[in-house]
Chain A
Amino acid sequence: MIHCYKLSGLNIVLDIYSGSVHVVDEVAFDIINMYEKKSQAEILEFILNKYPDNPEVNDAEIKDCFNQIEVLKSAGKLFTPDTYEGMAGKLKEKSKGIIKALCLHIAHTCNLNCSYCFASQGKYHGERAMMSFEVGKAALDFLIENSGTRRNLEVDFFGGEPLMNFEVVKDLVAYARSVEKEHGKNFRFTLTTNGVLVDQDVIDFANKECSNVVLSLDGRKEVHDRFRVDFQGNGSWEKIVPKFQDFVKARGGKNYYMRGTFTHANPDFLNDIKEMLNLGFKELSMEPVVCAKDDPSRLTDEDLEIVMKQYEELAELMLKKHREGDPFTFYHYMIDLKAGPCIYKRLSGCGSGTEYMAVTPWGDLYPCHQFVGEEKFRLGSVFEGVTNTAIQEDFASCNVYAHEECKDCWAKLYCSGGCAANAYHSTGSVKGIYEDGCKLFKKRMECAIMLECAKALDE
């Protein structure tokens, strides 16, 4: 399978099953597009008719292009066949029972009252609660015990607002550090925060212990303050921005993400990206809101069209900034064509419910943070382990080839079948697909790969 597209003046051909990327001229683009659908004689005639005034388009040149295509085919870089179906699920089979990442719901409560929150203001449709040290410690022990030979273990402090339970966060990190060496493990902590409780103590702690921090900011003040308000309805932008600026300055090169959400109110989210840049932030992530169909903040079809254009303009801005020596990163445009994930990773799905689980304040296990609060997805607990093996089996069998709709999709080895939670909430099945998400994902991948092509051509 190939995918041919034009973006920012480049003609790009992706060979899906080898991962090869080609930048071609317009005539070669047309030829490759038709190559497997028409005979060489038909293509030759079509191209000569289409480009009658181009002196470089003649019999010999077109035949030379056919030869180049055949050479690439022989080298396994074009029209590579799909030989992966039998491998799908093998990584999961090989690593059955191994868990390497937990999302600790350290606080099911929040000091903001954002109406678009998928976690329903941190409560996940349940009671307010804080995770105790004992539950958190049991979760870390559970992770160590079930991580097999995996060395790198990831733990997210998530909520709600995790800093509302900061003492437990600190105690859990201290505990993990005290036992990681004897077990041959390396804990990588991520802290997600809305910023309200950030102070010097938090900054010092996170910079020492957290390999990544995710700082929630929606961009422009009026956009941010529309949703991200306290329980009195006051916007949080003015309170948190200076704290985030201090936080990022103190990171000293360690990873962070400014993580925003865009909604029906701001499909022109590029303006929010620009505001983040104006504020001095360089590592950015903006996510389309995920919410119920009847939610007024949901992106409409008209919004999606705007968003698609915004993604293209964002890519162009990134390229311009890169060329000016003032680059910034966008989470969804980070792609390493030379050393990205192997084919097993690309086939085996997101890992929710198998290698990745969410832990509630009470120690219950769910396939991921987006399933917390949906009782039928409860997998077990950190005390008793996974007991709901039927549900886990459902997630274990999720891979690219488990989604009928992904069969002919060119983007499947970039998304690995998509988000199980979005699929479930959209179709009622974790093996369905979330169509709007797919549409946006494909556009993001086209932009990300275009950026890599443009940079490669610059070199």
Chain B
Amino acid sequence: MPDGTQPPTGRVVGDVIMKVENVSLSFGGVRALDNVSFDVREHEILAIIGPNGAGKSSMLNCINGFYHPQEGAITYKGKRRDTAKTFEAAEEGIARTFQNIALFKGMSTLDNIMTGRGLKMKKNLLWQALYYGPALKEELEHRAKAEEVIDFLEIEAIRKTPVGRLPYGLQKRVELGRALAAEPDLLLLDEPMAGMNHEEKEDMVRYILDVNDEFGTTIVLIEHDMSVVMDISDRVVVLDYGKKLADGTPDEVKRNQDVIDAYLGVSHD
């Protein structure tokens, strides 16, 4: 793990890859997101933090097409994303993990990771229904890719285990594996370290940094563990009650009075 607040070395943060502009999202009378804007730059690790119910997951869900914001625009690689469908997000190279793990529990680790390769398969659906000839050849190529992911995440031993039987920490890792198998440009991680013990967290941090480093994947993550957030992110966006409080490097955010108030509370006297 890199020490202090220095961003990990060897990484060049590039141009803006995604723009979130004045996004608002309401559920009935509840305003989950209120006029939120920020940029995501290529190759960076951006953390979204904030108290519970601040709208962090809603933000990810808007980016990835589960929710469609009523106002504002999300532009990804120059294209409007805020009205796009979820599977289109996947087609455009956005992969994600979920706060409450959403794996295919009855399927093996390998099968779960292979679903992540689905979009990379060139043959059309009719071919994909066969287990023969070119379809079989392609399947084996993708299988090799999936094995790379499995090696990378060091989950060789559980390749054939149905993920429903795995301990929580490993399930989180498999979910990351499924997202990585799609070779995404933008990886959305919703609390990747929640509920993990210290060692598992360290492992996860290492994987996230490696992914960012080796594949140049842009990462947007939501995390509650402040020491992790401050260590690994290039920039931090702080949300509170659906509004953006602050946006900047970890150091700037730490010193921001609004952020301190939101986290520690303000005395009303």
Same assembly = no
Residues of B within 8 A of A (CB): none
